[in-house]
Amino acid sequence: MNRGFWAIFKKDKLGMLGLFIFILFFVIAILGLILTSGRHPLFDPSMIRLEEKLKPPLSHANINVLSPEQIPPFGIYIFGTDELGRDVFSRMLQGAWVSLTVGFVAVGISVAIGIVIGGIAGYFGHYYIKNYHMLLICLFSLGIFSFVKRYWSALFCTLIFLLLLLYVKTKSPFLKKGIISVDTLITGIIDVMLCFPSFFLILTIVAFIPGSLYSIMVVIGLTSWMGTARFVRAEFLSLREQDFVLAAKALGVSEFRIIFRHMMPNAIAPVLVSATLGIASAILTEAGLSFLGFGVPPPHATWGNILADGKQYLFDAPWLTFAPGIAILVVVLSFNLFGEALRDALNPRLRY
């Protein structure tokens, strides 16, 4: 990073706290991944002990009724047990990795899509989509549809193609005429995407594709890029008119380099901040999906499905909901604090 970035970041106590907590959780998640996997893991998240149902946190395991491999490490249920006698601490450990990676992968996907789409809308937005582009798109999709044997769609494409061609015959300058600008098209798509209640969109998609850890990450990523795209578009619209972009052009810098080396660092600060907030909301979305039973499939624990299972015993065994709930709260909060500190530290005007 740039000189002085760390010096400013260090001064923000809350941001440092957020970073520290986050690193702590990350280490725990990696440890959890190691400790809960394999044939005979140290912390076995799926070991069922029907004799030891709903034990409160920090209670000792009853060694007399359990077989040797059923005894939890140190003989203590740190976070208690659930309705099947599974150790909640082990399940939390297993779920930590899922929750954290869901945040990162989903936000990584959404930021990547958002930057590209927003960047195109902001920088190339004034270009028009010409009618011959539309003809090419028609031909292209015609090819694809006939390749995958969707003949009705292929027929539809041919129809539009012929209609456009007919129109071309009547008016000669038609081909060169623009229909809509790139910006209008992209902002239109963004608005349409935003109109869907995204949680229900995710629910619908997850209902159709097999629910695995990675498909959930991808689906969350694919349905949450609109905010980033809008951010980047707005930033690029104002940056494009700045003198330093013209100055860079006058230096002979290529368009690609202008976008990624000169404009992106100016636009990246708000994007990074919204990304850290996005990680928090992706963790919440995953927890919500698991809570509703649409998330990662059952034997695997996530914070969301521990929460969901625990809700029936809210009054008898509150630790089942408190443990994952507090973990989610702390991670999300630490990320928000980290994001805000990042925003301040990335502002070059505050540097010295």
Residues whose CB falls within 8 Å of the CB of residue 115, separated by 6 or more in sequence, listed in order? 228, 229, 232, 264, 271
The answer to whether 172 and 255 are in contact (CB under 8 A) is: no
The least CB distance from residue 181 to another protein, in Å, is 12
Q: Which residues pair with 60 in a beta bridge?
A: 76
How many Cβ atoms are within 10 Å of 217's Cβ, its own excluded? 23
The answer to whether 290 and 305 are in contact (CB under 8 A) is: yes
Q: What are phi and psi of 2, to 5 degrees?
A: -75, 160
Q: Which is nearer to another protein, 166 or 251 (CB)?
A: 251
The least CB distance from residue 266 to another protein, in Å, is 6
Nearest to 236 by CA among 212, 218, 259, 269: 259
Residue numbers at the binding site for another protein (CB under 8 A): 2-3, 126, 242-244, 246-254, 257, 261-262, 265-266, 348-349, 351-352
Angle between helices 319-346 and 303-310 (to 10 degrees): 140
Helix and strand numbers, DSSP H then E, in the chain: 14, 4
> What's the one-letter identity of residue 110?
S
The least CB distance from residue 168 to another protein, in Å, is 23
The least CB distance from residue 292 to another protein, in Å, is 43
Q: Which is nearer to another protein, 46 or 181 (CB)?
A: 181
Q: Which is nearer to another protein, 47 or 248 (CB)?
A: 248
Nearest to 303 by CA among 282, 285, 280, 327: 327
Q: Which is nearer to another protein, 126 or 311 (CB)?
A: 126
The least CB distance from residue 25 to another protein, in Å, is 31
The answer to whether 164 and 134 are in contact (CB under 8 A) is: yes
Nearest to 79 by CA among 331, 301, 288: 301
The least CB distance from residue 254 to another protein, in Å, is 6
Q: Which is nearer to another protein, 143 or 265 (CB)?
A: 265
The least CB distance from residue 272 to another protein, in Å, is 13
Q: Which is nearer to another protein, 59 or 254 (CB)?
A: 254
Q: Which is nearer to another protein, 88 or 342 (CB)?
A: 342
